[in-house]
Chains A and B, each alone.
Chain A
Amino acid sequence: MTNLSLDPPISIVRGQPQPGAPDNWRRFFTFSTDHKVIGVQYIVTAFVFFLIGGILSMIMRGELITPEADLVDRTVYNALFTMHGSIMLFMWTFPVLVGLGNYLVPLMIGARDMAFPRLNAVSFWMIPVVGILMLASFLVPGGPSQSGWWAYPPVSLQNPTGNLINGQVLWILAVAISGVSSILGAVNFVTTIFRMRAPGMTWFRTPAFVWAVLAAQLIQLYGLPALTGGAVMLLLDLTLGTSFFAPERGGNPILYQHFFWFYSHPAVYVMVLPVFGIYSEILPVHARKPLFGYRVIAASSLLITVISAFVWVHHMFASATPGWMRMFFMVTTMLVAVPSGIKVFGWVATIWGGKIRFTTPMLFALGGISNWVFAGITGIFLGSVPIDIHVNNTYFVVGHFHYVLYGAIVMGIYAGIYHWFPKMTGRMYYEGLGKLHFALTYIGTALTFLPMHPAGLMGMPRRVASYDLEFAYWNVIASIGGFLLGLSTLPFLLNMVSSWIRGERVGNNPWRAYGLEWLTASPPSVENYEETPIVISGPYGYGGNKPLVEHAPNPDLTDFPESFTPQEQAS
């Protein structure tokens, strides 16, 4: 808080002065209330934890390269997959997408900042606390939580050391803090998107990314409290000896699963919806065509928000759920395919007949979509009760959701980072390194997660430290792929660091893209816009001649003629 008053008056500093300028990196370590600084803070912090979670997963793949449990002790393996899942979800995927949303939403809707800038900073600074709690649990006696990221009781209530401070307690606290941070963030996003859109930006002139972020954050608002409720009860069971979920004291462990999945399945959409938004933004730019069926794609995000509230039991088809529940949730689960399909078909139609350029963000977006199609289809398999009864809790599920999380979501995040990198830094990334990164990531994803499907169909349960010899073949391939994925982050890191320092300087709108965020400086000034833009047309005017905003503000800051009169350019 005090750092704020030390800052010079806002009007004379830029949000992110040109890289290399003295002092500029320091602002990323302060309690800044600028949504752009917070956005970068989120993204970088999350990426550090992505690397940590990745190292954990590579140790796991090292263990699984042989059938016996010989590299690490079984307790260590159990801790590894628990922390891998928890860190990747709570410390990487959620925060990095909140970071991208934080950076982009106010810019895209023509606002000067989020609705509650200080609350925004508070939400961010909870994230390192969560991370420290998670990592600290490696140091307490008994080690970190070993009950999986679901923390299903009764296993999560078994406390071998008997200490009050144990890995499971720290885990619950971390998740609770992360939940508070996410709820505050969601309140901020929803208020910003509802009330701070620039004049003229009606709902159907709002970019699809903003729609998707809104849809995702609404899920946080109705879903997270249920998880928090379940976590509070679990914590009380663990520390105060209540009996909510403890069967030996008369409790009902299945009820926890309902609390948990009521949030944690929709949470998948919290992660995937913003990525859908990223695809919807990137494809039109790099295919030079308007988003096909923009209104339907935008509205289908909200449809997913609604349907996703009624699908959670599909994680519990094998968990002593009665037949009617199995049938009802099978139908609702399959219905999610409809809005998801609308989006995929819309994207294919968008690039159809366009002028496609294989830039790195475009490659990642296209790769992500192709993986998503595959993951969506295996998702329908999993929605069918009889099939799920066989593959539930096997590596088929692991393969499926990693295709969603890595194949579609992480690739989408990379696409977003590359696409808006020139906006965030004023410099261009290195295309060659970007393409190398894409190739390694795409091959690595297929190599790691595709073999998990046949292993699961053959009956290999998930979360095993050792397995029967028949699964060895697929596991060796998956392990090699896993190490390749680890390797694939190196060109990305190199690219980001070196481009930020010495990349080629580019203008405000290197992609010649439509969208309010491209009308302002790169990097944008503290207040984003010197004059609030007044929107007069829809967000994807490629091929038309419609200007996006009234009497183009700040003509010196935009590459207007280029992007708004393409025909003249061509001739």
Chain B
Amino acid sequence: MLKLRAILILSIYAVLVTLASVWMAKQSYAWFPPEASAESKLLDDLFSLFTGLGTFIYLGVIGPFLYSLVFHRAAKYDLSDGPPIEGNKWLEIIWTAVPLVLVLTLSFVSYRTYDKMAVRGPMELVHLHLPNVVPAAYAEPFDSTPQQEIQQALETAPVEQIDVLAKQWAWVFHYPEADVTSTELHLPVDRRVKFSLRSQDVLHGFYIPAFRLKQDVVPNHAIDLELTPIKTGTYRLRDSMFSGTYFAANQADVVVQPYADYQQWLTTAATQAPTPAYNQAAYEYSRTGDRRTGNTKPKVAVRGWDTIPPAPPPMVNYAPKHEVNSPPA
């Protein structure tokens, strides 16, 4: 009778936990910025799977844990010990084997997602590609759409090539075909884009949260990164690898626009003569003046130490309009 009740309670709890996990997995999509690239959809699906399983494990552990804390308390003057149970071989084997299988499965699913993203990344030559292990025909239904989008983008048009130069503390984008430079990243929607990332000084991180992609930029190396924007709009590019004093200000806008607009922008920009762009780091640095003479009026409460001077503002064909009164963060 008691056993039956335990089984019943456990089953009900399992169902509840499953429902909660599914709910969390669905919720997880709302925790991200908009899905602006095909790769972001792949990532969000994977993250949702992890969230669901993670919730299941968390509640699966915490439930019995809390139950025990509530119902297995010692009475006030009860000085006796609990039952001398030292272990259970089968239980221990199960809770070693199940996590093992689980994490191997998660690794495998992650690998497949990574493979579908095909972001290339560094050292393309040794890019792990195991066509035998993952036959092309085998594709799970839950993430087939983004992959089709990537395929479509690849087949319909040539890959857009864009050179990215990171420095302390600015991003400069160069479009080799139109020979245009800009401090704002413009991308055509639904086209595969290939970045060639280079750094002039230190490590930087090329990170666009709306695309869910990130790649460190290493001096002396040109690193390739491919992605497929699928949603028009303005997003943020952030430096993700700490790069020194004005690291936090090293950001740029990313504008994803229809191909026609993108072409229009390129041709207009090509006619502009290069001018120095607004640069947050250079602007702040110029305001601090020479610290040693003390004739400074920093807008912060606590003054700082010497810093590496920022590179001069980049000379570009196109720079976004900037109002001095409200500098971007």
Direct contact of A and B (CB under 8 A): yes
A338 touches B32 (CB 8 A): no
A377 touches B57 (CB 8 A): yes
Given contacts A158-B244, A334-B106, A381-B47, contact A318 B205 (CB under 8 A): yes
Interface centre among B100, B106, B223, B236 (most CB of A within 10 A): B106
Given contacts A345-B61, A392-B240, contact A355 B301 (CB under 8 A): no
Q: Is A467 an interface residue (CB 8 A)?
A: yes
**B72 contacts across to A, CB distance below 8 A:** 287, 351-356
Q: Is B207 an interface residue (CB 8 A)?
A: yes
**A322 contacts across to B, CB distance below 8 A:** 122-123, 126-128
**A378 contacts across to B, CB distance below 8 A:** 54
Q: Is B58 an interface residue (CB 8 A)?
A: yes
Given contacts A341-B99, A355-B72, contact A384 B81 (CB under 8 A): no
Q: Is A20 an interface residue (CB 8 A)?
A: no
**B220 contacts across to A, CB distance below 8 A:** 247, 250
**A161 contacts across to B, CB distance below 8 A:** 306
- Report the bound CA distance from A562 to B79 in whole Å: 9
> A74 contacts which of B82, B128, B304 (Cβ < 8 Å)?
B304
- Report the bound CA distance from A351 to B215 in whole Å: 45
**A71 contacts across to B, CB distance below 8 A:** 300-302
Given contacts A75-B304, A154-B219, A324-B126, contact A292 B236 (CB under 8 A): no
B305 touches A74 (CB 8 A): no
> A356 contacts which of B73, B86, B209, B248 (Cβ < 8 Å)?
B73
Which candidate, A47-55, A190-198, A458-466, is the interface stretch facing chain B? A458-466
Given contacts A288-B82, A322-B127, A458-B31, contact A342 B73 (CB under 8 A): no
Q: Nearest-CB distance from B19 to chain A (Å)? A: 18
**A541 contacts across to B, CB distance below 8 A:** 84
Q: Is B263 an interface residue (CB 8 A)?
A: no
Q: How large is the interface on A (under 10, 10 to 19, 20 to 34, 35 or more residues)?
A: 35 or more
**A323 contacts across to B, CB distance below 8 A:** 114, 121, 123, 126-129
**B103 contacts across to A, CB distance below 8 A:** 334-335, 337-338, 380
- Report the bound CA distance from A453 to B192 in whole Å: 30
**B23 contacts across to A, CB distance below 8 A:** none
Q: Nearest-CB distance from B304 to chain A (Å)? A: 3
**A450 contacts across to B, CB distance below 8 A:** none
Q: Is A550 an interface residue (CB 8 A)?
A: no
Q: Nearest-CB distance from A523 to chain B (Å)? A: 25
Q: Nearest-CB distance from A342 to chain B (Å)? A: 6
B80 touches A566 (CB 8 A): yes
**A566 contacts across to B, CB distance below 8 A:** 79-81
Q: Nearest-CB distance from B289 to chain A (Å)? A: 13
- Report the bound CA distance from A73 to B248 in whole Å: 12
**Which parts of B158-195 form the interface with A (CB within 8 Å)?**
none
A386 touches B110 (CB 8 A): yes
**Which parts of B222-243 form the interface with A (CB within 8 Å)?**
223, 236, 238-243
Q: Is B42 an interface residue (CB 8 A)?
A: yes
B248 touches A338 (CB 8 A): no
- Report the bound CA distance from A164 to B72 in whole Å: 63
B111 touches A461 (CB 8 A): no
**B58 contacts across to A, CB distance below 8 A:** 373-374, 377
> B201 contacts which of A147, A154, A321 (Cβ < 8 Å)?
A154
**Which parts of A215-261 form the interface with B (CB within 8 Å)?**
247-248, 250, 253-254
Chain B: interface residue total (CB-CB under 8 A)? 100
B87 touches A292 (CB 8 A): yes
Q: Is A152 an interface residue (CB 8 A)?
A: yes
Q: Mark A139-161, 1 if CB is under 8 A from B, else 0.
A: 00111001110001011001011
- Report the bound CA distance from A356 to B69 in whole Å: 7
Q: Is B262 an interface residue (CB 8 A)?
A: no
> B85 contacts which of A69, A148, A290, A373 (Cβ < 8 Å)?
A290
**A74 contacts across to B, CB distance below 8 A:** 245-249, 284, 304, 307
B78 touches A386 (CB 8 A): no
- Report the bound CA distance from A569 to B301 in whole Å: 65
**B273 contacts across to A, CB distance below 8 A:** none
> B213 contacts which of A146, A319, A390, A540 (Cβ < 8 Å)?
A390
Q: Nearest-CB distance from A213 to chain B (Å)? A: 22
- Report the bound CA distance from A342 to B97 in whole Å: 10
A467 touches B303 (CB 8 A): no
Q: Nearest-CB distance from B127 to chain A (Å)? A: 4
Q: Is B266 an interface residue (CB 8 A)?
A: no
- Report the bound CA distance from A193 to B122 in whole Å: 46
**Nearest residue in B to A62 (C-beta to C-beta)?**
B301
Q: Is A394 an interface residue (CB 8 A)?
A: yes
> A148 contacts which of B33, B214, B239, B242 (Cβ < 8 Å)?
B242
**A467 contacts across to B, CB distance below 8 A:** 248, 329
> A342 contacts which of B86, B95, B216 (Cβ < 8 Å)?
B95
Q: Is A67 an interface residue (CB 8 A)?
A: yes
Q: Nearest-CB distance from A345 to chain B (Å)? A: 4
Q: Is B83 an interface residue (CB 8 A)?
A: yes
**A538 contacts across to B, CB distance below 8 A:** 86
**Which parts of B245-261 form the interface with A (CB within 8 Å)?**
245-249, 251
- Report the bound CA distance from A247 to B288 in whole Å: 29
**Which parts of A61-120 form the interface with B (CB within 8 Å)?**
67-76, 78-79
Q: Nearest-CB distance from A495 to chain B (Å)? A: 23
**A320 contacts across to B, CB distance below 8 A:** 121-123, 215-216, 218, 221, 223
Q: Is B38 an interface residue (CB 8 A)?
A: no
**Which parts of A272-331 form the interface with B (CB within 8 Å)?**
287-296, 318-324, 326-327, 330-331
- Report the bound CA distance from A338 to B236 in whole Å: 38
- Report the bound CA distance from A378 to B79 in whole Å: 39
Q: Mark A330-351, 1 if CB is under 8 A from B, else 0.
A: 1100110110011011101101
**B74 contacts across to A, CB distance below 8 A:** 288, 355-357
13 contacts between A and B (CB under 8 A): A74-B284, A152-B242, A250-B220, A290-B84, A296-B92, A320-B218, A324-B126, A327-B111, A338-B100, A349-B91, A355-B72, A373-B62, A390-B213
7 closest cross-chain pairs (CB), A and B: A459-B209, A73-B304, A543-B84, A75-B304, A464-B248, A143-B305, A355-B74
